Amino acid sequence: MYTLKRILFFCLILVLKPTVFVAQINPQKDEAVSQLIKELSALWDNNKEETFNYLLDNKSKKSTTLKTTFPTLITNNRVDLLAKRNVLQQKIYKKDLGFNFTASYQRNTSTPFLDPEDVVIFKQRAVVGLDWDLLRGGFLDNRMKAKTLSKELEWIKNSNYAQKTSRPFLLSSQQVVTNFNKRKIVVLQKRLELNTKQMALIEKLWALKQISMDNYLKAIQNKADINGQLELYKSFSDKAQQLKLASQDSIELPLLDLDFDKLLSKVNYTSVAGDSTLPAYLIENAKRESNFIREIGLKAYACYSYYDVYTQNIPNRKFMSYGLNLTVPLAFNQKEKRELYLVNKQIDNLQQPQVEPGIEYLLLNYYYDYRYKLKKYYNLVEKRNVFAELIRTESVKQEFYDLEFNPNTALLILDDYWSNAVELLDLHQDMFKTLLSIKEKVPGSEISDFTFPVTVKDNLKDSTFTPPPVKAIYIWSKSLSVATQTMLTDYITLNNFNQIIVSYKYDKTYLQTLNAFINKNYTSKISLMIGNNKLINGGMPIYLDSLAKSVPLTFVKSIHLDIEPHTFDDFKTNQVTYFAKYIQVLDDASAFCKKQNL
C-alpha cells in the first residue's frame, strides 16, 4: 500500500508540473541535439552546390579520339617478319642496278682447228667485261619490283591478320576503364568525406534517439557502398600502374549512338570473284607486274679480250668490244599474269583471319545491347533530374525555415545525387567497352566510323520530367516592390509556378522593380497583365508601344488583357458598342503581339 501511494504521488507531480520536470531533466540533451542539427545543416550548406556535372559534360565533343594503336607490348611476330622481309627485299632491288662483271679463261692443250667465231688460233685466251641488264632482270625491272613491294608493305600492315592478332583493343579497353575510373574516384572520395562527417553526427543523434532507424541504416549502407567501389577502382588503377600502362587524359569519350547501316558498310567480306574487293594499289601492282616491258631483255656489254696465238710470226691479239643484246618473247600473256598476281594476293588474304560468318547477326545483338544501355543512361539522367529537383526543394525549405526541412534527409538526397553520377560514369564506360567489342569484330574500322554524338537533357529546364501542366500566379502591382521581389521569386520556386502573370503600369520606380523581377525569372513563362479599363475607349497602340520601350520583351511570352467594360455604369445600355470597342482592342493587341513575336 505504501508503495502504491508513492507511485500516485509521483504521477500527481507529473500532472501538475510537467514543464518544470522536463526543464530539469532535458536541457543538456536539447542543447546537444540542437548543436548536432546545426552541424548537419552546416555540412549541407557546404556541399549542396556540388553537382559533378563537369565530369559528365560531353557537349563540346563531337566524336571520340579513341583510335587503334599498336603498342610495343603487343606484337604480332608473323606480321613483323613479313614486313621486315619486304623492306629487306626492297633494299636489295634498289641497290641492284643490273651491272654484272664477267670474266673467262680458256687454254688449248693442242693446236685446235680454226674457230670460225674467233678467226684466230690461240694457245690460251682471257676475256673480262661488264654487262648491264637494262630491262628484264635488270635496272628497270628491279625498280618496278621495289615499287611493287613498297605497296605490298601497306597491304601487310593493314591486313586482317595484322589487325586481329595485334588486338590493340585490349589496350584501348584499359584506357577507357582507367579514364572513367579516375572520374568515379573523384566523386567517391567526396562521397566518403561527406559520409564520414555525417556518420560522426548521426551516430550521436542515434545514441540520443533523435534519428530514425531507416535514416541511420541508410547512412551505414552508403558507407559500405562507397568503400566497396573505391577499393575496386583503386585496385584496378594500382594493377594498371604495375603493368606500366599510362593513362591518357586527352582521350575524348562523348556519349555516342550507333548507326547500324554504317556499321554494316564497314564489314568487308573478302572474295576471289574479282578485283573489286582488293585495294587500288594492288590493282596498280598487278598492272606493273604484268607489264610487257618486263618481258623484253635488253643488255649492254663491254669486254676486253686477250689472245695468246700459236703462230710465232703473228703477235698476240687484244681488243675492246661493245654491243647490245635484245630479246623479245613471242608469247603475249599479260592479262593472265595480271589475274595470277591478283588471285595470289586474294589467296594470301584468305589465309588470314577473316570476318566471322554471320557477323551481321552478332553485330545486331551488339547493337541491341548498346542501345539498351543507352536507354538506361537516359533513365539515369531523368533520375538525376529528380534528385536535382529534390535538392532544390530542400534548399528552398531551408531558406523559408520550413519545419519539414531535415538536414540529415537532405544530405542523404545529396549522396544519392552524387551516387547517380558514379552510375552514369559506370554505364558510360560499359557502353564504350561494347563499342570496342564491335570494333574488334570489324577489322579496319574505327569507332568514329559508325557512331554519332547525342545530346542528353541534363537539367530540369530541358528534361522530360514534367511538373503539373499549368500552375500560375497573378502578381498585382501593389504586391511587387523592391522589398518583396526576392521573397516572391523564392515563393514561385517553392511552389513550382510555371506561369507568372505580373501587372504592368507606367511608373518609373515600378518599372525598375518589374524589369529586375523579369530578368531574374525569365526562365518561367511570364505574361504582362494590362489592367487599364480606359483603354476600351482607344489608345491601345500608343500604350503598347510605350510598353515595348519600357520592358525587356525578349523575356516575355504573352500579353494578358484585364480590360473589363462590364464594370462601366452604362454597359447594359451600350453592350453592342462596348463589344465592338473590345474587339478593336483585341485586334490592336494581336497586331502588336505578332510584330513582337508574342
pLDDT digits (tens, 9 = 90+) for 175-225: 888 889 999 999 999 999 999 999 999 999 998 888 889 989 999 999 999
Q: What is the mean pLDDT of the chain?
A: 79
Selection from 259-268, 326-335, 351-360 with the highest mean pLDDT: 259-268
Task: Answer for the pair 456, 377: CB distance below 8 angstroms, yes or no.
Answer: yes
Residues 549 and 411 in one domain: no
Residues 98 and 125 in one domain: yes
Residues 54 and 102 in one domain: no
Whether 459 maps to a domain, the answer reads: no
Residues 302 and 177 in one domain: no
Residue 361 scores a pLDDT above 80: yes
Whether 280 maps to a domain, the answer reads: no
Whether 274 maps to a domain, the answer reads: no
Residues 251 and 362 in one domain: yes
pLDDT (tens digit, 9 = 90+) per residue, 42-85? 999 999 999 999 898 766 567 777 765 544 444 456 667 777 77
Name the pLDDT band for 116 (thresholds 50, 70, 90): low
Nearest of 477, 471, 468 to residue 528 by alpha carbon: 477
Residues 152 and 184 in one domain: no
pLDDT (tens digit, 9 = 90+) per residue, 123-167? 788 888 888 887 777 777 778 877 877 777 776 766 655 554 444
Residues 343 and 361 in one domain: no
CA atoms within 13 A on the CB side of 471: 13
Rounded distance, CA 381 to CA 486, Å? 31
Rounded distance, CA 581 to CA 425, Å? 62
pLDDT of residue 76: 57
Whether 244 maps to a domain, the answer reads: yes
Question: 10 Å Cβ neighbour count for 222?
Answer: 22
Rounded distance, CA 33 to CA 27, Å? 10
Selection from 91-95, 267-271, 288-292, 346-350 with the highest mean pLDDT: 91-95
pLDDT (tens digit, 9 = 90+) per residue, 405-421? 999 999 999 999 999 99
pLDDT of residue 19: 37
CA atoms within 13 A on the CB side of 505: 16
Grid cell 635484245 in the structure block, residue: 326
Name the pLDDT band for 240 (thresholds 50, 70, 90): confident
Give the three cell numbers for residue 53: 556535372
pLDDT of residue 50: 94
Higher pLDDT, 391 or 237: 391
**What is the tally of structural domains in the chain?**
4
Residues 362 and 421 in one domain: yes
Nearest of 304, 303, 305, 297 to residue 325 by alpha carbon: 297
Q: Which of 35-39, 72-76, 383-387, 535-539 has the lowest mean pLDDT?
A: 72-76
pLDDT (tens digit, 9 = 90+) per residue, 441-481? 887 788 888 998 887 765 444 444 444 567 888 888 888 88
Q: What share of the chain is helix, strand, coil (3-state, %, to 5)?
A: 60, 10, 30
Whether 409 maps to a domain, the answer reads: yes
Tell me the three state secondary structure of residue 3.
helix
pLDDT of residue 199: 94
pLDDT of residue 499: 86
Who contacts 558 (Cβ-Cβ below 8 Å, separation ≥6)?
A: 525, 527, 528, 593, 598
Residues 485 and 337 in one domain: no
Q: Give residue 18's domain range.
A: 2-30
Using CA atoms, how far residue 123 sits from 66, 117, 118, 303, in Å, is 80, 16, 13, 20
Nearest of 399, 353, 568, 421 to residue 493 by alpha carbon: 399
Give the three cell numbers for residue 15: 500532472
Residues 255 and 376 in one domain: yes
Query: The pTM is what?
Result: 0.54
pLDDT of residue 166: 46
Whether 279 maps to a domain, the answer reads: no
pLDDT of residue 293: 67
Residue 500 scores a pLDDT above 60: yes
pLDDT (tens digit, 9 = 90+) per residue, 280-334? 767 777 777 777 667 777 788 888 888 777 777 778 888 788 888 877 777 666 7
Among residues 348, 368, 391, which one ends one of the domains?
348
pLDDT (tens digit, 9 = 90+) per residue, 514-523? 888 888 876 6
Higher pLDDT, 88 or 304: 304
Grid cell 476600351 in the structure block, residue: 536
Whether 72 maps to a domain, the answer reads: no
Instruction: Give the pairing type, strands 317-327 and 472-475.
Output: unpaired
How many residues in total does the chain contain? 598
Residues 477 and 425 in one domain: no
Residues 405 and 448 in one domain: yes
